């Protein structure tokens, strides 16, 4: 969400620091409220009191969702072996409360509501939730769609008359931006709005690839190439390459933490572009478009892979060589980028195999094999590298009443906020390993070692997650899912 990762900020001098998305959303809602108050009729009574009440609802819902989203990591703070069982009741209660609250959140468009919906969509479905209970309520996919509708409404700022079967919303008076704000605050508003939009576009793109649904904020097969976000990503990659070549020409070879973060952030933007292209390619196959369109978008995907290898892979490998000297947050960002970018290639190959388009595999054969290796190595990196977390816990001693500060050490895999993507990566790599073993391309010993890495990875994911538990049970039985795509729900 910095100027290096959000293409909307690349030409500005703002947003250079890492931004808290919750703070961004809270500031946006505050500014939107000021705008709303400015545009209301003078005869409106009780508007201030209603706004205060609305703000408290939004803040309460967001806090509740954050608690449910974070509950998966409660066992990390405990040294007990049965920590997951001990916290299971708390995790279930928080998830159920947040899920009930989503119905209220959906009907209150705001940036904090948007964030709450996104976070609940990423909240693991606890292992104790039955299929009937899971089906008898709002799903993560529905939350994603509602959040995307929220940001569309908010960006429009109700400048036109809106109506449905129950009410009519009067348009706001046209303004150039938030009222009574000095220039700097107006600039901050635009910056924050762009950050929120880029975050929403990330969810929109990911959902269109993993959930077989059409994008809402961006065009699909027809029109996406002309859209500003993707043109900015391509332009940003060109600028990044030019700057990198200039530094190398002047003999600047030392990799600092700041330089590594700039490289990773720029690579993150390209990663999203790669996910977008893969989603568009999937759409072309799924919807039965002409072969010419399939070939056109497939060539774009292949070209994007080559561009990543040319522009980003060398500096990312330089980051890897310098890894012992980089900070833990930088390492964590590198891990996330490598895992998610190369996961898109595994998904691409899986789409091709699932649709029996084996004629296309030859063009990505090298990239496919490379992605399998990189994903495994990245998972090993995520198991071997740790992060130190400060945790506040209630003291159990009668002599020491109150809250005490403690530190825990956890591998990157344990705190990955996207365990459903890790689960999908494990399934796709295991599927490839089984295929290679059957073809005699790898030995039984290599297959067992690889399987051990994947099982260790699953062991460090949140054990309260229903999908993680299901896959671990599958591994323990020695069974594998044959064919099709790995399930990648947003409530995992």
Whether residue 45 has pLDDT greater than 70: no
pLDDT score recorded for residue 79: 66
- Say if CB 108 and CB 144 are below 8 A apart: no
Q: Where in the chain are the domains?
A: 21-163+175-192, 218-362
Which span out of 153-162, 349-358, 391-400 was modeled with the highest average pLDDT?
349-358
Q: How many CB atoms lie within 10 A of CB 77?
A: 15
Could you read off the pLDDT of 131-176 as tens digits, one per residue?
999 999 999 999 999 999 999 999 886 444 454 555 555 555 544 5
Asked whether residue 99 carries a pLDDT value surpassing 80, the answer given is yes
Which pLDDT score, from 0 to 100, does residue 396 have?
58
The reported pLDDT for the residue numbered 356 is 94
Provide the β-strand partners of residue 162: 169
Taking all residues of the chain, what is their mean pLDDT, rounded to a whole number? 85
- Of 487 and 26, the one with more pLDDT: 26
């Amino acid at each position: 969400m910095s100027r290096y990762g959000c293409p909307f900020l690349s030409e500005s001098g703002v947003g250079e620091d890492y931004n808290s998305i919750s703070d961004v959303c809270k500031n946006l809602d505050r500014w939107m409220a000021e705008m709303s108050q400015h545009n209301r009729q003078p005869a409106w009574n009780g508007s201030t009191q209603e706004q205060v009440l609305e703000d408290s609802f939004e803040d309460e819902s967001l806090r509740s969702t954050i608690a449910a989203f974070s509950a998966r990591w409660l066992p990390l703070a405990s040294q007990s072996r049965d920590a997951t069982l001990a916290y299971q009741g708390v995790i279930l209660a928080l998830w159920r409360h947040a899920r009930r609250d989503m119905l209220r959140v959906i009907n209150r468009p705001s940036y904090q509501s948007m964030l709450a919906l996104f976070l609940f969509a990423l909240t693991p479905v606890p292992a104790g939730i039955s299929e009937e209970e899971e089906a008898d309520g709002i799903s993560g996919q529905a939350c994603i769609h509602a959040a995307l509708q929220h940001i569309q409404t908010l960006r429009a700022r109700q400048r036109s008359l809106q109506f449905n079967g129950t009410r009519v919303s009067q348009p706001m008076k046209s303004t150039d931006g938030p009222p009574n704000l000095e220039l700097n605050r107006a600039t901050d508003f635009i910056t924050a709005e762009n950050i929120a939009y880029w975050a929403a576009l990330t969810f929109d793109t990911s959902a269109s690839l993993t959930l077989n649904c059409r994008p809402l904020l961006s065009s699909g097969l027809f029109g996406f190439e002309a859209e500003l976000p993707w043109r900015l990503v391509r332009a940003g990659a060109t600028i990044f390459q030019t700057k990198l070549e200039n530094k190398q020409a002047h003999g600047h070879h030392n990799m600092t933490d700041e330089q590594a973060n700039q490289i990773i952030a720029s690579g993150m933007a390209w990663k999203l572009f790669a996910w977008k292209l893969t989603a568009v390619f999937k759409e072309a196959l799924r919807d039965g478009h002409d072969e010419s369109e399939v070939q056109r978008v497939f060539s774009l995907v292949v070209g994007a892979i080559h561009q990543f290898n040319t522009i980003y892979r060398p500096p990312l490998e330089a980051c890897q060589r310098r890894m012992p000297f980089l900070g833990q947050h930088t390492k964590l960002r590198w891990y996330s980028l490598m895992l998610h970018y190369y996961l898109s290639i595994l998904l691409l190959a899986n789409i091709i195999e699932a649709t029996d388009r084996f004629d296309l595999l030859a063009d990505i054969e090298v990239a496919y094999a490379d992605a399998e290796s990189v994903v495994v190595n990245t998972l090993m990196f995520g198991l071997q590298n740790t992060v130190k977390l400060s945790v506040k816990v209630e003291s159990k001693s009668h002599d020491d009443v109150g809250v005490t500060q403690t530190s825990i050490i956890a591998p990157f895999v344990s705190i990955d906020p996207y365990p459903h993507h890790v689960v999908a990566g494990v399934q796709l790599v295991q599927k490839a390993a089984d295929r290679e073993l059957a073809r005699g391309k790898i030995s039984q010993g290599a297959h067992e070692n690889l399987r051990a890495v994947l099982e260790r990875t699953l062991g460090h994911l949140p054990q309260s997650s229903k999908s993680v538990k299901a896959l671990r049970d599958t591994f323990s039985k020695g069974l594998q899912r044959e064919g099709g795509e790995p399930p990648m729900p947003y409530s995992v």
